[in-house]
A = this chain, B = another copy of it.
Amino acid sequence: MRKIVTAGEILVEIMAAEIDQSFMTPGPLIGPFPSGAPAIFIDQAGRLGQPAAIISSVGADDFGRLNILRLQESGVDTSAIAIHEGAATGSAFVRYGRDGDRNFVFNIQNSACGLIRLDPAARALIATADHFHVTGSSLFSERVIDIVKSGIDAVKARGGTVSFDPNIRKEILDTPGMREALDFVLARADIFLPSGDELFLFAQALDEAGAAAEILARGVAAVVVKKGAAGAVCYEARGAVDAPAFPVEEVDPTGAGDCFSAGFVSFWLRGEGIERALRLANACGALAVTKKGPMAGTPTLVEVETFMESRA
């Protein structure tokens, strides 16, 4: 089994309990939930039985500990998660609007996440990686970008593969170094996993197939467009494969895209056919949204298989 390594933010997430709740006045909240896009991704990969590890950093507090314990329970190698005395574990407060939109108050850059470094534990981990996964939201500091570049170069040098989930909003594309880092990653990615419109941030064409073709022409082997409840499409040079989503009652969408990506990458690494990898990934995303909490619904391999049989 090939080992997936990723790098980036570990956070606790605190959720407003009610729709349209304000963060300007006290109200009911729920948390702390383990979170952070690359952490959710690697948690899902671990639960599917894939050898998996993350390079990250937390504070010496309960919020760091709960994340490390959760990842360990999921089988993730946490040897390269640094624990910093005097730093606070990163956090995200999220509230949901009536139309499903999400608003965040983040503490990432000046949290322990800002102390992520290419330290000896990170180097040791990269030396064992067969696949490197990049989440665009993690490219918030020069140091994470350094780790990502080192990880990609090391994995590529030994014939490994790279996946890239842009997971980014237009507004932060102008962060210094961000655009260049995204281009560096895309130029080396084997699998590209944009959600909806993110595809068009990296292409000139205004239609999905055209934009995917441009990305494929840049050397990416598989462009997987994630569409949530509308399923997913995988574009390869030989053609496109479409897979519908599994209809479920959505409780909490946060993390669904990361779980989908981890599912697709894990099964792709195992040599599953594209159609089956898409369906397994759709099942991961579907189960992820059925529970409150970014990692609360992340299914194990058995849970994914049981769910797919029940929907067969």
Contacts and interface: CB of A to CB of B under 8 A. Distances in A.
Contact of A26 (B26, B30, B110): B30
Nearest to A22: B62
A24 interface: yes
Interface string A48-73: 00000000000001110110010000
A254 interface: no
Given A29-B30, A31-B26, A62 B105 contact: yes
A261 interface: no
Interface string A283-306: 000000000110010000000000
Given A87-B110, A105-B62, A106-B88, A23 B28 contact: no
A249 B101 CA distance: 41
Nearest to A15: B26
A86 B111 CA distance: 12
Interface of A: 14, 17, 22-33, 61-63, 65-66, 69, 86-88, 91, 93, 105-107, 109-111, 114, 292-293, 296
A31 B88 CA distance: 19
A63 B24 CA distance: 7
A93 B201 CA distance: 38
Given A87-B110, A91-B91, A110-B87, A293 B26 contact: yes
Contacts of A293: 26
A25 B63 contact: no
Given A23-B32, A24-B62, 16 more contacts: A14-B14, A14-B29, A17-B28, A22-B62, A23-B62, A23-B66, A24-B66, A25-B66, A26-B292, A27-B30, A29-B31, A61-B105, A88-B91, A88-B106, A107-B107, A110-B111
A36 to B, nearest CB: 15
Given A23-B63, A24-B66, A109 B86 contact: yes
- Interface-central residue, A33, A61, A105, by most chain B CB under 10 Å: A105
Contacts of A28: 17, 28-30
Contacts of A62: 22-24, 105
5 smallest beta-carbon distances between A and B, as pairs: A88-B107, A23-B62, A29-B29, A24-B66, A110-B110
A107 to B, nearest CB: 4
A117 B280 CA distance: 53
A29 B22 CA distance: 15
Contact of A105 (B22, B63, B105): B63
Contacts of A296: 26
